[in-house]
């Protein structure tokens, strides 16, 4: 089992998270991720640094740790050619260290860029086509054009291409998206708290030929549990309400957290007070099929968490 950290980027300035990146690498974590959000899940105190600006800065400040985006939808905000070009450029600068996470997007991030919010089926088909465009840009050796159902363009030349393979981590939370992940991604990313995640996501991914790494992501924190529940209850608790998948206003998302109880928050996220708590959680994820767990770290005491990880958690893995 590997363990990584997703900094999320929703609470602090981008400079603060650069300092965290150095400390995460020094602790010995296996991976570092940063959320690609145009808007946060909450308004009061929320931040939304641009992931594609932050990641190269973090790569420059660190030496070897792989750093990925969690996750980019190459659908509306970004044309897939732009994502392909950006990823290739980063890989040329920092060969082999960049990880591309892709997904079908969230309305709160994509709403300003579309006239109407499409169905998941349309977004899924669009993402499959987008990944075809991305891979063609990375591998074609001459001008190429495209004439698909969702993307079409006249011949372009791929002037920047990766010098190493850029691993694609495909986000999925159900059987249909898991199948797409098997067909169009190199690895699978899912949310650890998805009900029946082993049978609904991991199983379909493997059954359809997915042989890559399975990554489980979970919002979590280390330290004073009551204080962390307060923090998550006023921010990420909005993700527990299914109707919020169609919401795009961070003010309304945050207001909706009043409908989520403290006990529901406690049960839905990872709150750890000791290394043993984290290790027990990791054991549970491994039993469900995870190869790599990533904690979206909302800790107040991050230094204490990373020190504990370096001394007790990571050596045990």
Is 150 annotated as catalytic?
A: no
For the chain, domain boundaries: 2-316
Strands 31-35 and 187-191: unpaired
Strands 292-297 and 270-272: unpaired
Catalytic residue among 12, 22, 25, 37: 37
Domain 2-316 class?
Answer: alpha beta
Catalytic residue among 106, 110, 129, 247: 106
* 99 phi/psi in degrees, rounded to 5: -120, 125
What is the torsional sign of CA 304, 69, 10, 41? negative
**Contact yes or no for 100/57 (Cβ under 8 A):** no
Within 10 angstroms of residue 95's Cβ, the number of other Cβ atoms is 13
The per-residue pLDDT for range 212-231, each reduced to its tens digit, is 999 999 999 999 999 999 99
The per-residue pLDDT for range 55-91, each reduced to its tens digit, is 999 999 999 999 999 999 999 999 999 999 999 999 9
The per-residue pLDDT for range 2-55, each reduced to its tens digit, is 999 999 999 999 999 999 999 999 999 999 999 999 999 999 999 999 999 999
Structure tokens at 79: 């044309």
Within 10 angstroms of residue 258's Cβ, the number of other Cβ atoms is 10
State how far the Cα of 176 lies from the Cα of 280, in Å rounded to an integer: 30
Is 106 annotated as catalytic?
A: yes
Q: What angle do CA 98, 279, 36 make, to 5 degrees?
A: 30
**E strand or H helix at 203:** helix 203-207
Mean pLDDT, the chain, integer: 97
Residues 7-36, buried b or exposed e (16+ Cβ, 10 A)?
Answer: bbbbbeebeebbebbebbbebbbbbbbbbb
State how far the Cα of 133 lies from the Cα of 74, in Å rounded to an integer: 10
**Contact yes or no for 27/20 (Cβ under 8 A):** no
The per-residue pLDDT for range 144-180, each reduced to its tens digit, is 999 999 999 999 999 999 999 999 999 999 999 999 9
Identify the DSSP state of 186: S
The per-residue pLDDT for range 98-132, each reduced to its tens digit, is 999 999 999 999 999 999 999 999 999 999 999 99
pTM, two decimals, is: 0.96
* 70 phi/psi in degrees, rounded to 5: -125, 95
State how far the Cα of 131 lies from the Cα of 184, in Å rounded to an integer: 7
**Contact yes or no for 67/55 (Cβ under 8 A):** yes
Kindly give the residue spans of alpha helices, DSSP state H, lying in 116-202.
120-139, 175-184, 197
**Contact yes or no for 61/25 (Cβ under 8 A):** no
């Amino acid at each position: 089992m590997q363990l990584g950290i997703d900094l999320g980027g929703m609470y602090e300035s981008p400079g603060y998270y650069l300092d965290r990146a150095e400390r995460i690498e020094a602790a010995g974590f296996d991976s570092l991720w940063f959320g690609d959000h145009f808007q946060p899940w909450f308004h009061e105190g929320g931040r939304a640094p641009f992931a594609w600006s932050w990641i190269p800065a973090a790569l420059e400040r660190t030496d070897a740790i792989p750093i990925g985006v969690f996750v980019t939808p190459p659908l509306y905000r970004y044309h897939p050619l732009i994502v392909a070009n950006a990823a290739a450029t980063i890989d040329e600068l920092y060969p082999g260290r960049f990880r591309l996470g892709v997904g079908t997007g969230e309305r709160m991030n994509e709403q300003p860029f579309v006239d109407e919010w499409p169905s998941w089926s349309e977004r899924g088909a669009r993402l499959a086509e987008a990944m075809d465009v991305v891979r063609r840009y990375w591998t074609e050796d001459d001008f190429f054009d495209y004439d698909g159902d969702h993307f079409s363009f006249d011949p372009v030349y791929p002037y920047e291409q990766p010098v190493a393979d850029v691993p694609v981590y495909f986000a999925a939370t159900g059987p249909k998206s898991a199948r797409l992940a098997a067909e169009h991604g190199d690895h699978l990313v899912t949310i650890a708290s998805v009900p029946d995640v082993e049978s609904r996501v991991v199983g379909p991914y493997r059954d359809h030929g997915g042989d890559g790494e399975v990554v489980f992501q979970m919002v979590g924190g280390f330290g004073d549990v009551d204080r962390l529940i307060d923090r998550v209850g006023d921010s990420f608790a909005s993700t527990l309400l299914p109707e919020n998948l169609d919401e795009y206003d961070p003010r309304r998302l945050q207001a909706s957290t009043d409908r989520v109880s403290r006990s529901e928050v406690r049960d839905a996220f990872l709150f750890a007070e000791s290394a043993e708590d984290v290790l027990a959680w990791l054991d549970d994820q491994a039993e469900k099929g995870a190869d790599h767990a990533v904690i979206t770290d909302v800790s107040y005491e991050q230094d204490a968490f990373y020190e504990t990880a370096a001394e007790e958690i990571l050596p045990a893995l």
